């Protein structure tokens, strides 16, 4: 997902008896469905895992602006241009809401951004794929935002107050993102043969990376078990992926597009779609930095930050000067 | 007789459209994420304004061209924006200086247009004026912060101001179309906005510790008549490529 | 270089009785903090007032759940999901 394979630092899930009194009380509050707030006591592992997860999520929003941002200047109508610009701007907002939430845990934005730029922090694998045609903008909204929503709706109920509140705000905005993507593809699929081919090509390139967004099967992962116990992960990767496939396949059919999976079929017994095996070697390669656009994405963010340094410094210098002047005039 | 009004609407619409297109290129690449949000808001406002002006222009023309036909179907020579807005983004100082010089004029122009004898122009101007008041506040804020920030930011902004200055004179040019429309009470006389603009720009420059370039310096002209700088062709090539590669389809 | 300071943002929406905490922004000074708050937190609903407070000045906070966004330009209706008709046959979007 936007936060993939988050390390909890746990080597195994500990039983209640192994926890000290503080930890027991903390776990009891979570089990009781209470929200943890920034000033509350929390185990160090919980805090560190949250910082990792929320910042990965924030980085994904910000890096995610780049592949779509590519097409703002090339959108084919003024209405689509405004819609895409508003959508990408929302993603910047999501990044900011999430950095805010992470900052309540005692890390600075500068630190978080630095972790991204030096490669210590990760962001979602999906944003390392290129946007080659206008139809890719539709595919991202429909599939990528669609997958994100699937993951973010349960996170609105997560145990950490600032994170859950940020998710509530994000989810309100996401539905527009998915719909504008689908609407864009619908226009292409109702258009010329060339437009429809463009849509089909986009689905073929984005389908599997979208399924990979949910991360490798984690039913047996100790990190997932720990995150679920802390209620900062609510459903397993495979559960979410299945929900996504079940929801999305009929939508593809309505568009008249073919999902690129020969093994895809409805399983009446399970009441779900069966689908083909995912190539996890590609996922791991992309995560390691070898996706088609990893270097470009990181470089773009680093450049923006480095070239903006003098601007940020100027604004601070101005604020300092004028605060000093004000103190002086008040003293006089 | 609607020719002059059509021209005037293209000028208003193209200014907004071309500047918005420039700002769009910043999204995801700004100096701080909060600025990405802000630039996107300004660009969204301007795209909205461009759509209103161009849609009206198309209706007046009566040849079935809508906002998109006008935005995507004209070559550079048919664009009527001022040279200032098509100038490249450059560094953030150049983007801010361009925005401020334009905003200060835009605000005055729209204020006058709210009293236009053309009710639709007056209504669009009234809506746009609210948005542009905010643009002007923001770009003025940044003029102060960069001008009176660090030595580096001061030098960059002073250089940007000097580079862009020769494109500011065109904002106050008048031609036969203007004369017709001024007489009908549809638009203000361009020159009538100049003194106020110079005063406002001068005041912000002073507060920002910048030296305002000479008001009577040599100025470039021609954008409003369709004679543009080299930059506009590239901007349009990027903006228009999809409808041109796939003509006649819906998006 | 140090970060721009952090400001907590409180917004009173049209129907809200009191200002509500909505999150935070970074800004070099109060004037830009207000503008950044407007640009980040008020892109959808009409609001009537924003407060920004240096985060460092807050001793205890009770952040509120209710989102209070406001809308600078009501014509941006495409931001709302209902702007896009979803075909009958396509469920759950
Ligand atoms: Fe998002
Ligand atoms: Fe989104």
Residue extents of the structural domains in chain B: 3-214+221-245
Asked if C84's CB is within 8 angstroms of A100's CB, the reply is: no
pLDDT above 70: percentage of residues in chain B? 100
Residue of A26, A22, A23 lying closest to A34 (CA atoms): A26
CA-nearest residue to A133 within chain B is B242
Asked if C93's CB is within 8 angstroms of A178's CB, the reply is: yes
pLDDT confidence band for A4 (50 / 70 / 90): confident
- State the sign of the Cα–Cα–Cα–Cα dihedral A106, A109, A111, A113: positive
Which chain B residues are Cβ-neighbours of C73 within 8 angstroms?
44-45, 48, 131
| DSSP secondary structure letter of residue C31 | H
CATH number assigned to the domain comprising residue A199: 1.20.1260.10
Domain at B3-214+221-245, CATH from 1.20.1260.10, 1.25.40.10, 2.60.40.10, 3.30.300.30: 1.20.1260.10
pLDDT confidence band for C72 (50 / 70 / 90): very low
Mean pLDDT check: name the lowest of B66-70, B243-247, C42-46.
C42-46
Residue of A27, A78, C59 lying closest to B46 (CA atoms): A78
Query: Could you report the per-residue pLDDT of C5-61, keeping only the tens digit for each?
Result: 999 999 988 776 789 888 899 999 999 999 999 989 988 765 678 999 998 888 754
Which residues contact residue B34 at a Cβ distance below 8 angstroms, ignoring those fewer than 6 apart?
A96, C25, C26, C27, C36, C39, C40
Within-domain flag for A322? no
**d(Cα B22, Cα A242) in Å, to the nearest integer?**
42
Within-domain flag for A25? yes
Asked if A254's CB is within 8 angstroms of C24's CB, the reply is: no
Picking from C84, C86, C88, C89 by the largest number of A CB atoms within 10 A of its own CB, the best residue to mutate is C84
pLDDT at A195 over 60: yes
Domain count, chain A: 1
User: What is the predicted pLDDT for the residue at C71?
Assistant: 40
- State the sign of the Cα–Cα–Cα–Cα dihedral B110, B113, B115, B118: negative
Directed axis angle between helix B33-61 and helix A78-103, to 10°? 160
Within-domain flag for A80? yes
Mind giving me the DSSP string for B61-98?
HTSS--HHHHHHH--GGG----HHHHS---SHHHHHHH
User: What is the predicted pLDDT for the residue at A327?
Assistant: 77
Within-domain flag for A5? no
**d(Cα B110, Cα B122) in Å, to the nearest integer?**
8
**Residue written as token pair 């110079």:** B198
Domains in chain C with CATH codes: 6-60 (3.10.20.520)
The three-class DSSP label of residue A274 is strand
Which chain B residues are Cβ-neighbours of C31 within 8 angstroms?
141
Phi then psi for C89, rounded to 5 degrees?
-65, -20
Residue count of chain C: 93
Within-domain flag for A306? no
Domain that holds residue A285: 16-291
The three-class DSSP label of residue A277 is coil
**d(Cα A310, Cα B209) in Å, to the nearest integer?**
18
ipTM surpassing 0.90: yes
Please tell me which chains touch C, using 3 or more CB pairs under 8 Å as the contact test.
A, B
Nearest to A134 among B28, B239, B242 (CB): B242
Query: Could you report the per-residue pLDDT of B109-160, keeping only the tens digit for each?
Result: 999 999 999 999 999 999 999 999 999 999 999 999 999 999 999 999 999 9
Within-domain flag for A110? yes
Within-domain flag for A185? yes
Mean pLDDT across chain A = 94
Once rounded to an integer, what is the mean pLDDT over residues A245-274?
98
Mean pLDDT check: name the lowest of A190-194, A315-319, C52-56.
C52-56
Nearest to A74 among B47, B67, B242 (CB): B242
Nearest to C1 among A90, A97, A309 (CB): A309
User: What is the predicted pLDDT for the residue at C67?
Assistant: 36
Closest approach of B14 to chain C, Cα-based (Å): 20
Which chain B residues are Cβ-neighbours of C47 within 8 angstroms?
none
Nearest to A93 among B35, B37, B67 (CB): B37
pTM: 0.92
């Amino acid at each position: 997902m936007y936060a993939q394979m988050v390390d909890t630092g746990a080597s195994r899930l500990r039983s209640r008896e192994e926890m000290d009194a503080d930890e027991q009380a903390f776990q009891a509050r979570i089990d009781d469905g209470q929200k943890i707030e920034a000033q509350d006591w929390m185990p160090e592992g919980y805090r560190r895992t949250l910082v990792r997860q929320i910042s990965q999520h924030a980085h994904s929003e910000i890096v995610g602006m780049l592949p779509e941002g590519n097409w703002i200047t090339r959108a084919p109508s003024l209405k689509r241009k405004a819609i895409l610009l508003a959508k990408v701007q929302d993603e910047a907002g999501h990044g900011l809401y999430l950095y805010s939430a992470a900052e309540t845990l005692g890390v600075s934005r500068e630190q978080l951004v630095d972790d991204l730029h030096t490669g210590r922090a990760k962001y979602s694998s999906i944003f390392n794929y290129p946007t080659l045609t206008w139809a890719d903008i539709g595919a991202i909204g429909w599939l990528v935002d669609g997958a994100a929503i699937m993951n973010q709706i349960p996170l609105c109920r997560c145990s950490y107050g600032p994170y859950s509140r940020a998710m509530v705000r994000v989810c309100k905005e996401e539905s527009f993102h998915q719909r504008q993507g689908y609407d864009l593809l619908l226009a292409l699929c109702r258009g010329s043969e060339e437009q429809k081919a463009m849509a089909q090509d986009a689905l073929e390139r984005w389908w599997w990376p979208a399924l990979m967004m949910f991360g490798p099967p984690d039913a047996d992962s100790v990190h997932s078990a720990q995150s679920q116990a802390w209620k900062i992960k609510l459903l397993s990767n495979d559960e979410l992926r299945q929900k996504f496939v079940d929801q999305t396949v009929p939508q593809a059919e309505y568009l008249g597009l073919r999902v690129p999976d020969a093994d895809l079929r409805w399983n009446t017994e399970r009441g779900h779609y069966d689908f083909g095996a995912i190539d996890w070697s590609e996922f791991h390669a992309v995560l390691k930095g070898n996706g088609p656009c990893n270097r470009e994405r990181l470089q773009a963010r680093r450049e923006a930050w480095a070239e903006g340094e003098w601007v940020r410094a100027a604004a601070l210098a101005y604020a300092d000067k004028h605060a000093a002047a004000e103190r002086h005039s008040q003293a006089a | 007789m609607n020719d002059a009004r059509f021209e005037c609407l293209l000028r208003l619409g193209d200014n907004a459209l071309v500047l918005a297109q420039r700002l769009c290129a910043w999204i995801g690449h700004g100096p701080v994420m909060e600025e990405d949000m802000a630039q996107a808001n300004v660009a969204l406002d301007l795209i909205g304004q461009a759509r209103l002006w161009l849609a009206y222009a198309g209706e007046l023309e009566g040849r079935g061209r809508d906002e998109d036909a006008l935005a995507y179907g004209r070559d550079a020579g048919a664009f009527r924006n001022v040279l200032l807005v098509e100038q490249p983004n450059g560094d953030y100082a150049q983007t801010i200086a361009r925005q401020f010089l334009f905003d200060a004029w835009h605000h005055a122009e729209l204020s006058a247009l709210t009293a236009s004898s053309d009710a639709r122009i007056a209504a669009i101007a009234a809506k746009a004026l609210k948005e542009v008041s905010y643009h002007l506040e923001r770009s003025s804020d940044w003029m102060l912060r960069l001008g009176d920030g660090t030595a580096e930011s001061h030098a960059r902004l002073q250089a940007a101001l000097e580079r862009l200055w020769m494109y500011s004179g065109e904002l106050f040019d008048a031609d036969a179309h203007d004369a017709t429309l001024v007489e009908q009470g549809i638009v203000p006389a361009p020159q009538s906005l100049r003194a106020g603009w110079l005063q406002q720009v001068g005041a912000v420059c002073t507060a920002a510790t910048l030296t305002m370039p000479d008001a009577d310096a040599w100025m470039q002209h021609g954008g409003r008549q369709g004679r543009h700088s080299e930059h506009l062709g590239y901007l349009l090539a990027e903006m228009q490529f999809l409808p041109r590669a796939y003509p006649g389809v819906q998006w | 270089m140090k970060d721009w300071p952090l400001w907590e943002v409180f917004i009173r929406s049209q129907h809200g009785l009191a200002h509500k905490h909505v999150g935070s922004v970074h800004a070099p000074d109060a004037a830009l903090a207000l503008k950044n708050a407007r640009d980040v937190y008020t892109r959808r609903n009409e609001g009537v007032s924003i407060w920004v407070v240096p985060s460092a000045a807050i001793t205890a906070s009770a952040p509120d759940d209710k989102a209070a966004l406001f809308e600078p330009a009501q014509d941006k209706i495409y931001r709302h999901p209902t702007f896009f008709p979803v075909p009958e046959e396509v469920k759950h979007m």
